[in-house]
Chain A
Amino acid sequence: MSHDKTKKQAELIREISGVNPYKCMKCGKCSASCPSFNEMDIKPHQFVSYVLNDDLEALVNSKSLWKCLSCFACIERCPRDVKPGKLVDAARQLVVRERGGDFLSADEIPEKLDPELPQQLLVSAFRRYRR
């Protein structure tokens, strides 16, 4: 990733999440609360550093994004209003919004199909995750 692009992405993450990463005091309460801590390669308390250092490539490619359960324990308990869960959410948005991303193939559809699922969802999923 080019430097400018990362910089822009870092800004985008701050904008989407509404998080000011400078407020973090590295207390670790997010990591102490996280039920997926052991599954994550980048730990919740480290998210902030990646955003601050504009190291977005590592964050976006991290397993952690997809291991986060969105249980919001970190958001609930963060004493500094940093709320790492929001950063994860924003990073996921960033990935999802990426043009040309290929997150869904037609071959996977049959196994994911659920009779309860409305048709529109499939169509919108294709629009969103395949460009």
Chain B
Amino acid sequence: MQRIGVFVCHCGSNIAATVDVKKVVEIVRNEPGVVHAEDYQYMCSEAGQALIAKAIAEKNLSGIVVCSCSPRMHEATFRKAAERAGLNPYMVEIANIREHCSWIHKNVEEATEKAVILARAAIAKVNLNAPLKAGESRVTKRALVIGGGIAGIQTALDIADAGYEVDIVEKTPSIGGRMSQLDKTFPTLDCSACILTPKMVEAAAHEKITIYTYSEVEKVSGFVGDFTVDIRKKARSVDMDKCTGCGVCQEKCPSKKTPSEFNRGLGNRSAIYTPFAQAIPNVPVIDRDACIKFKTGKCGICSKVCQAGAIDYEQKDEIVTEKYGAIVVATGFDTIKLDKYDEYAYNQSKDVITSLELERVMNAAGPTKGHLERLSDGKHPKNIVFIQCVGSRCSDDRGKPYCSKICCMYTAKHAMLIRDKYPDVNVTVFYIDVRTPGKNFDEFYRRAVEDYGVNYIKGQVGKVAPQPDGSLLVQGVDLLDNKQILMEADMVVLATVIEPDPSVRKIATMLTASIDTNNFLTESHAKLRPVESPTAGVFLSGVCQGPKDIPETVAQAGAAAVKAIGLLAKDKLLTNPCTAKPDELLCNGCSACANVCPYGAITYETKLINDHGIREERRVAQVNNALCQGCGACTVTCPSGAMDLQGFSNRQIIAEVDAICR
């Protein structure tokens, strides 16, 4: 029989105003196993914890129940207090009489009754608790960063600066990501390349950082502290050691008709290419789908002109296998396809472009060399219309339900830059709401209105109709004037909703990291653990977790790095002892548990079993305690009741239910 102490917290008035704590103490005192019960104003305070320690020592308690707030809040606090007092921390149970009781009820009598019931359940469970001991696992002191945009680069730099090895895996031929495609950045209007390229160079030159470009993560196994990852280095067809980056091959390549991914398809690139001039590494790749040599067997000009002899048509994909202690996902975003938005005529007119395409148009290295011109005829536009929330805040099946967060600011930026450089151009912005929270953000938007004369109209555009003369007729509404507007435009710019890069789904599956309905990676706790995935050892950096701008991305990248460093700094990890444990005598080897395990923690082994004197070889389930997160999926799936969760055994759960139903 356990010797149980029950400690009922007032939580100031949070609990005590709705629950008669004195009454709870008096009633639970008579529960089986309870030898001590008391209440205190703030049980989590130092004085409250001292009360617990004193009772453990004086009454020789073997288990305790704390009736207080949610275990998410203070379970760790009370476990540590118990451990200091010489009690196994897993002999502590929390009865949540705040979130589950006092906060949601008004009637004191009923709330008190419920608090007693919740306490009874916890007491019934402690009666069946057994001391558990956390195991240990080793930590590989190397981190993997998936994605080489600003988020990945910043995370890698921060981890490397702390002295740990970092590998960046980037699927395109160069690091840099979306930020490298941007022209200027808000709210200070500094040039994106000027602040990004030094970071790219720093990452490439860092002795602790290895960059795998044109590479993808192929397979992930293992667990926190000890991941094993296969990286596929796609065949570049160019020897990275020999290539000097002179660029002659790209000049001479006769296949120049492939739409440039970097310029969002607004210009063409050659079959052998680096995405942009400042690419890192400055080593081109051959796009084998576009290369004449690969398609017809004839050509080979790049090989002939290469002084370094770096072209290698025979190169094959290569798999690199590496071990990591921590993995940071920084896969970034893309804009959605606008096929479903026919009313904006994006697919009908070259002069209807997305904001990301406008970035390329405004960029000196872009398809128009930075001149603002219509892409259909190269003419200078006189009237430009910006349409906000294209696909954002939609609850239909065309767009996304969330706000993309960055559009209001970049549109103000575009509008201002255009008015600054071309004062003859009229700029109109159709908006639903202007959302500019952030340091110097609203001031920035007001500057567009007040100093640059950008015409902001509250309302949406219903239709953009290309006219025979090449102009665009824009039909919109001014909701504040309650008037429909018909205006002519030369260019229309769509603030297109951003979505997580499509590659994230595959990566999330490999990492068993959860994603939400919009494919954003889920954080462990929206407020208190915003850069950690619920999967231990996996961290989140940048837009893969949710829409954010560059300053936020950099801040989050640093936070993810710190969390990864905190993990890598440890030599050993304590593992959660509340893991699944199979009863080998009951296990029938059906594999049902292994199939439902989201963490890949269950394997099967054929071993000699002594079943009440019968010795035979049986196929039985084995749980890797370092991988198991204690979710319990296997315990409810097991048809023979062989799988049980330590600390949450079937017997304990049933005892709790019994206590509640008594």
> Which residues of B are found within 8 Å of A37, using beta-carbon distances?
477, 484
A interface, size bucket:
20 to 34
Q: Is B463 interfacial (CB 8 A cutoff)?
A: yes
The reply to whether B399 and A45 form a contact with Cβ atoms under 8 Å apart is: no
Q: A26-B432, A38-B484 are in contact. Are A31 and B477 (CB under 8 A)?
A: yes
Within the assembled complex, what's the spacing in Å between the Cα atoms of A101 and B482?
32
Within the assembled complex, what's the spacing in Å between the Cα atoms of A117 and B89?
86
Interface residues of A in 19-40 (CB under 8 A from B): 23, 25-34, 37-38
> Which residues of A are found within 8 Å of B484, using beta-carbon distances?
31-32, 34, 37-38
Q: Which residue of A lies closest to B475 (CB)?
A: A32
Q: A77 touches which one: B343, B393, B482 (CB < 8 A)? A: B343
Q: Is B398 interfacial (CB 8 A cutoff)?
A: yes
The reply to whether B462 and A77 form a contact with Cβ atoms under 8 Å apart is: yes
A52-90 to B contact mask, C-beta < 8 Å, 1/0: 000000000000000000000100111111000000000
Interface residues of B in 455-495 (CB under 8 A from A): 458-463, 475-477, 479, 482, 484
The reply to whether A79 and B393 form a contact with Cβ atoms under 8 Å apart is: yes
Within the assembled complex, what's the spacing in Å between the Cα atoms of A34 and B343?
13
The reply to whether B462 and A79 form a contact with Cβ atoms under 8 Å apart is: no
Q: Is A128 interfacial (CB 8 A cutoff)?
A: no
Q: A32-B484, A33-B343, A34-B462 are in contact. Are A27 and B389 (CB under 8 A)?
A: yes
The reply to whether B479 and A33 form a contact with Cβ atoms under 8 Å apart is: no
The reply to whether A25 and B475 form a contact with Cβ atoms under 8 Å apart is: no
The reply to whether B462 and A27 form a contact with Cβ atoms under 8 Å apart is: no
Q: Which residue of B lies closest to A74 (CB)?
A: B462
The total of chain B residues at the interface (CB under 8 A) is 21
Q: Is A7 interfacial (CB 8 A cutoff)?
A: no
Within the assembled complex, what's the spacing in Å between the Cα atoms of A79 and B401?
9
The reply to whether A81 and B482 form a contact with Cβ atoms under 8 Å apart is: no
Q: A38-B484, A77-B343, A79-B395 are in contact. Are A31 and B459 (CB under 8 A)?
A: yes
B481: shortest Cβ distance to chain A, in Å?
11
A80-117 to B contact mask, C-beta < 8 Å, 1/0: 11000000000000000000000000000000000000
Q: A27-B389, A37-B477 are in contact. Are A32 and B460 (CB under 8 A)?
A: yes
A60: shortest Cβ distance to chain B, in Å?
21
Q: Is B396 interfacial (CB 8 A cutoff)?
A: yes
Within the assembled complex, what's the spacing in Å between the Cα atoms of A31 and B462?
8
> Which residues of B are found within 8 Å of A45, using beta-carbon distances?
477, 479
B554-573 to A contact mask, C-beta < 8 Å, 1/0: 00000000000000000000
Q: A32 touches which one: B389, B395, B399, B459 (CB < 8 A)? A: B459
Q: B393 touches which one: A25, A34, A38, A43 (CB < 8 A)? A: A25
Within the assembled complex, what's the spacing in Å between the Cα atoms of A27 and B394?
11
Q: A32-B484, A33-B343, A77-B343 are in contact. Are A26 and B395 (CB under 8 A)?
A: no
B394, B459, B460, B482 pick with most chain A CB within 10 angstroms: B460
Interface residues of B in 204-251 (CB under 8 A from A): none
Within the assembled complex, what's the spacing in Å between the Cα atoms of A20 and B278?
52
Q: A28 touches which one: B395, B398, B477 (CB < 8 A)? A: B477
> Which residues of B are found within 8 Å of A25, using beta-carbon distances?
393, 432
The reply to whether B460 and A29 form a contact with Cβ atoms under 8 Å apart is: yes
A85: shortest Cβ distance to chain B, in Å?
13
The reply to whether A79 and B477 form a contact with Cβ atoms under 8 Å apart is: no
Within the assembled complex, what's the spacing in Å between the Cα atoms of A51 and B49?
57
Within the assembled complex, what's the spacing in Å between the Cα atoms of A127 and B463?
41
The reply to whether B398 and A32 form a contact with Cβ atoms under 8 Å apart is: no
> Which residues of B are found within 8 Å of A26, using beta-carbon distances?
432, 479
A39: shortest Cβ distance to chain B, in Å?
11
Within the assembled complex, what's the spacing in Å between the Cα atoms of A43 and B462?
14
The reply to whether A79 and B398 form a contact with Cβ atoms under 8 Å apart is: yes
Q: A73 touches which one: B432, B461, B462 (CB < 8 A)? A: B462
> Which residues of A are found within 8 Å of B477, using beta-carbon distances?
28-29, 31-32, 37, 45
Q: Which residue of B lies closest to A40 (CB)?
A: B484
> Which residues of B are found within 8 Å of A81, using beta-carbon distances?
395-396
Q: Which residue of A lies closest to B480 (CB)?
A: A28
> Which residues of B are found within 8 Å of A76, using beta-carbon distances?
343
Within the assembled complex, what's the spacing in Å between the Cα atoms of A13 and B462?
25
Within the assembled complex, what's the spacing in Å between the Cα atoms of A23 and B437?
24
Q: A28-B459, A45-B477 are in contact. Are A80 and B395 (CB under 8 A)?
A: yes
> Which residues of B are found within 8 Å of A38, using beta-carbon distances?
484
Q: A33-B462, A80-B396 are in contact. Are A27 and B475 (CB under 8 A)?
A: no
B299: shortest Cβ distance to chain A, in Å?
49
Interface residues of B in 77-104 (CB under 8 A from A): none
The reply to whether B396 and A27 form a contact with Cβ atoms under 8 Å apart is: no
The reply to whether B396 and A28 form a contact with Cβ atoms under 8 Å apart is: no
The reply to whether A80 and B482 form a contact with Cβ atoms under 8 Å apart is: no
Offer 11 A-B interface pairs, CB within 8 angstroms, sorted by A.
A23-B395, A25-B432, A27-B393, A30-B462, A32-B459, A32-B463, A33-B343, A76-B343, A77-B462, A79-B389, A80-B394
Nearest 4 CB-CB pairs, A to B?
A33-B462, A32-B462, A32-B477, A79-B394
Binding site for A on B (CB under 8 A): 343, 389, 393-396, 398-399, 432, 458-463, 475-477, 479, 482, 484
Other contacts beyond A32-B460, A80-B393: 8, CB < 8 A? A26-B432, A27-B460, A28-B432, A28-B477, A29-B462, A29-B477, A31-B462, A34-B484
